[in-house]
Amino acid sequence: MSKAERSDTPSGRLTLLTLARDLGVSRATVSNAYNRPDQLSPALRERILARAAELGFTGPDPMARGLRRGRVGAVGVLVDESLSYAFSDPTSVLFLDGLAREVQADGLGLLLHPARRDPAALQALADAAVDAWVVQSLPDGHPAVDVVASRGRPVVVVDQPALPGVPVVGIDDASGATTAVRHLTRLGHRRLAVLAMPLGCDRRQGRADAERQRTAEYAVMRRRLAGAAAAVAEAGLDWAGVPVVEVTANEPDAAARAARELLAGPDRPTGVFASTDQLALGVVRAARALGLAVPGDLSVVGFDDSPAARSAEPPLTTVAQPLRDRGQRVGVLVRAALQGEEVGVPPPAVVGLVVRGSTAPPPRGG
Amino acid sequence: MSKAERSDTPSGRLTLLTLARDLGVSRATVSNAYNRPDQLSPALRERILARAAELGFTGPDPMARGLRRGRVGAVGVLVDESLSYAFSDPTSVLFLDGLAREVQADGLGLLLHPARRDPAALQALADAAVDAWVVQSLPDGHPAVDVVASRGRPVVVVDQPALPGVPVVGIDDASGATTAVRHLTRLGHRRLAVLAMPLGCDRRQGRADAERQRTAEYAVMRRRLAGAAAAVAEAGLDWAGVPVVEVTANEPDAAARAARELLAGPDRPTGVFASTDQLALGVVRAARALGLAVPGDLSVVGFDDSPAARSAEPPLTTVAQPLRDRGQRVGVLVRAALQGEEVGVPPPAVVGLVVRGSTAPPPRGG
DNA sequence: GCTATCGTCTGGATCGTTACAGAACCAGGC
DNA sequence: GCCTGGTTCTGTAACGATCCAGACGATAGC
C-alpha cells in the first residue's frame, strides 16, 4: 500500500479513498465501479456500490472529477442585465428552453449569469466553472463578452454581438424586417412608423434620429431598422419621414406608453412596424385605448411570432422565426464544440411573414 | 527548485505554474497576486498581472480552485420538469430573479436543472458541481429531490416538498386561501367553485374528488384547498358541493378551457376561487367568451398577486404574496448556509388579500 | 549587538478524482 | 513447460490550484 493508502485520518468526508480502504481495494477500482463498469468484475462492482450506499457515499466529487476530466457539466449562459428580463421576454424563454433540452442530453445544466458591468460581476464571470459559454443577445462591446471569450472555452453567440471566430446563431433580421414593412406598403399604407427596442444601454425613450439608428449598440436592431428602411425606399417613400420610436424596454407596457403619443398626433400613421411582438402587443393596446380599431384604423406588424402573437386579439401579423429551434441549434453547436469538433458559423435561419388579423389596407380617408 | 517547478513540459495550457516559471517566482506568489494582494509587494503583483495579461493568462482555473476551496460559485436550482414552465410562470420568474440578485453579491450564478425522473437526468444532478441546492416547488417524493439532498450540500426548499432538517421558504397558503374564499362568502356568494393547479404529475383535467384532493402530490395545492374548504365550512356551506376543477397546467389557456364547462352548466357558480393568478386570468377570459360580466355575473379571486393580476382587465382581486422577496429570502438563507451558519426554518411569510375589480356581490337573481 | 517584529516570498502538502502502465492470475495452445 | 492473450485489479502520476508553516532579510527596540 502506498503512503496515501495507509493514511489513517478519520476523514469526516466521504471520498473514494474512504470507500476503497473500507473495502480493501484501490481507489482506481472504486472509480471504475462508477465510471467504467467493464473494467471490473460485476460481483466486485456490486459489492462496492452496495457498501457505498450503506455508508452514504453518493458518488465521486463533481469538482474533483471536473478538474481531472476538464468538464463540469455546465454551460454558462450570459444573459442581458437582469434575469427577470431574460425570463420575461418570450423570445428568450423559448430559446433557453430549447437550449436546455438539447444540452441536457449530455447531462449539462445551464449556469445563468447576468451580464453586469461592475468589476465584481466581471470577476464572477471569469471565475465561473463552465464547459462553454453561450452569449445571448448582448450589445456590441459589452465588457462581459470579452471576459467570457477570453477564458479559452468554446463560445456560441446568439444574434449578437459578432465576435471574430465565434459561431453566431441568428436569423436574417434585415430581410425579415423588409418583408414586414413591404407587407404594409403593398397593402397601401403610406404613413408608417416603427417601434424599436432599446438601441443602447442608456434606456432612452422617444424618436431615434438617423445617427442614433446607425450607432445602435444592438446589432439586431440595426439590422431590422436597415431592413425596414430598405422596404420604405423600395416603396418610393422617404425613410427620414418615418418616425422611429425607441422604447425603454421590450415590454408591452413600455411600448403602449411610447405608442400613445405616436398615435395621438394629427398625422398619425396607418401602419406600424413593431420590431418585436412584445412591442406590437403594446401598440395594439394603445390603439384600442385611443379608440382606434386594429386593423381597421391601424395595421400592426410584429416580429418573432411569439406564442402571445398567436393568441392575441386580433392575432398578430408577424415575422416568424423558429424560437425554440434556435435554442436547440445553439445546443447542437455547443455539444459539438465540447466534443472537439470544429464548428462553423451556420447560415442565418430563414424567416417568413405570417399574415394574421392585425393588418389590412389603410382606412379610406387615410 | 522542486521537481514540479523544474518540469519542462511545453504546456499548451496556461496555468499559474507557467506564469510562475516565466517570472521566476513561486506558484504561491502568483496565486497570491490574484487572491491576496496584501500578501505580496504591490510592485511584484503589478509585474505578475502585467505579464499575465501579456501571455493571455486570464486567472486561476475555476475548477481547480473549486476543488481546493470547496466552492464553485454556483447555486443549483432544481426546477419543475421543463425550463419553459419555470420561465412562463410569473411566480417562478420573479422568484428566480430575486434569488439571482441576492446571490450574485457573492459572485454566485444559478445552475438550472430541470427535475426529470429518468436515470440519466438523476445522474446529471448527482454530478452537478454546485455549492448549494435550491429546490423549487416540486411534488412530494420526487426522486430528484432525494438526489440533491443526499449530496451533502446545503439545501433550501421553496414551498414544497418539506424535507427533514431542511429550511423551507414559504407562505401560509392555507390562511391565504381561507381569506380569499371568505371574501367571496362575505360578499354573499353561495355557489362557489375552485380551480386547482395540477394536483399530481399525471396531468389530469377535470373534477377532483375528495380523495384526489387529499392525496395531491403538491403540498401547496393541498394547503390551499384545505384553506378554501375551511372558509366554505365557516360559511355554513358544504365543501363536497363545491366543484374543484383540476387544470392540466398553470396557464391561462388551460384554465380557460377548464372554466368553460364549469361556467356553461345551468347552476354555474357566481364566485370562483382560482388558486393562482394565471388560472384566474383564464377564468376571466372564459367568462368573457361566454358573455358573462366580471365581476357583474361572476366574481373571481386569484392567488399570488403577479404583475399580470394588476394590469388585467378587470384588475384581479387576489391573495398577495411577496414574490420577488421570496427569491431574495432564499438567497439570504443560501448565503448564510454557505458561510457555515446554522439556518433555521423561517416562519411562513404573511399574505393578505388585495381587493381589486374582479369581485363583487353576486347578481340579484344568483 | 542581539533579539523581536514585520513584510515578502517559497516549498511542500493537499483537495478528490481519473488516466495509464503494468502486475497478478488464469486458461488455452503448441 | 513456455508463451500468448485476456481479465481484473493496483499503484503512481497527474489535473491546477490554495493553504500553511516557515525562511529570509530588513527594520526597530532595547
Q: What is the pLDDT of residues A233-278, one digit of tens each?
A: 999 999 999 999 999 999 999 999 999 999 998 889 999 999 999 9
A67 touches strand D (CB under 7 A): yes
- Tell me whether residues B109 and A152 touch, CB distance under 8 A: no
CB contact under 8 A, B65 and A127: yes
**What is the spatial distance between Cα A287 and Cα B273, in angstroms, rounded to a whole number?**
33
- The model scores a pTM over 0.85: yes
How many contacts does A have with B, using Cβ atoms within 8 A? 150
**Strand D within 7 A of A32 CB:** yes
Note whether A206 and A212 are within 8 A (CB). Answer: no
CB-CB contact of A154 with A136 (8 Å): no
For residue A123, the chain B residues in CB contact (below 8 A) are: 107
CA distance A175 to B156: 48
Q: State residue A5's pLDDT score.
A: 37
User: Which one of B76, B94, B107 has the shortest CB-CB distance to A124?
Assistant: B107
Output Rg (C-alpha) for chain A, integer angstroms: 27
Cβ contacts of A151 on chain B, cutoff 8 Å: 58
Q: Which residue is nearest to nucleotide D15 (CA to C1')?
A: A68
Q: How many Cβ atoms sit within 10 Å of the Cβ of residue A311?
A: 12
Q: Which residue is nearest to nucleotide C8 (CA to C1')?
A: B40
pLDDT of residue A366: 54
Closest nucleotide to A67 by C1' from CA: D15
Q: What is the least distance, in Å, from the CA of B193 to any CA of chain A?
A: 26
Tell me which chain A residues have a C-beta less than 8 angstroms from the C-beta of B126: 58-59
Cell of B338: 454557505
User: DSSP character for A141?
Assistant: T
Alpha carbon A47 to its chain's center: 46
Instruction: Looking at the complex, report in whole angstroms how far the Cα of residue B104 sits from the nearest Cα belonging to chain A.
Output: 8
Which pLDDT score, from 0 to 100, does residue A358 have?
Answer: 97
Helix (H) / strand (E) containing A109: strand A109-115
Which chain B residue's Cα is nearest to A125? B107
Sequence length of chain A is 366
pLDDT at B191: 97
CA distance A105 to A294: 44
The per-residue pLDDT for A3 is: 36
Residue B21 in 3-state DSSP?
helix
Rounded distance, CA A180 to CA B276, Å? 37
Lowest mean pLDDT across A106-110, A279-283, B84-88, B161-165:
B84-88
Residues of A in contact with B100 (CB under 8 A): 82-83, 112, 114
Q: In whole angstroms, give the CA distance from residue A268 to residue A245.
A: 13
Q: Do A104 and B114 touch (CB under 8 A)?
A: yes
In this prediction, residue A156 carries a pLDDT of: 96
What's the Å distance between residue B6 CA and nucleotide C16 C1'?
Answer: 25
Using the Cβ of B74 and the Cβ atoms of chain A, whether some distance falls under 8 Å is answered with yes
Q: How confident is the model at residue A344 (pLDDT cuts 50, 70, 90)?
A: confident
CB spacing of B150 vs A73 below 8 angstroms: no
Question: What are the distances in angstroms from CA A78 to CA A96, A113, A333, A352, B77?
Answer: 11, 5, 16, 28, 17
**Region A138-156: what's the mean pLDDT?**
94
Q: What was the pLDDT predicted at A11?
A: 43
Instruction: pLDDT band for A340, please (50, 70, 90 cuts).
Output: confident
Residue B12 is predicted with a pLDDT of 65
Interface membership of B138 toward A (CB under 8 Å): no
**Nearest-angstrom CA–CA distance, B290 and B263:** 8
Interchain pair A87, B74: CB under 8 A: no
Task: Identify the pLDDT of residue A12.
Answer: 64
What local confidence, expressed as pLDDT, does residue A311 receive?
A: 85
Strand D positions within 7 A of protein Cβ atoms: 7-21
Q: Sort strands A317-320 and A352-354 into parallel, antiparallel or unpaired.
A: antiparallel
A44 touching chain B per CB within 8 A? no
CB contacts under 8 A, B 178-207 vs A, are: none
Tens of pLDDT along A20-69?
Answer: 999 999 999 999 999 999 999 999 999 999 999 999 999 999 999 999 99
The whole-number Å distance from B43's CA to C4's C1' is 27
Q: How far apart are CA A126 and CA B53, in angstroms?
A: 14
Q: Which residues of chain B have pLDDT under 70?
A: 1-12, 365-366
Q: Name the residue in chain A with its Cα closest to that of B61.
A: A127
**pLDDT above 50 (res A157):** yes
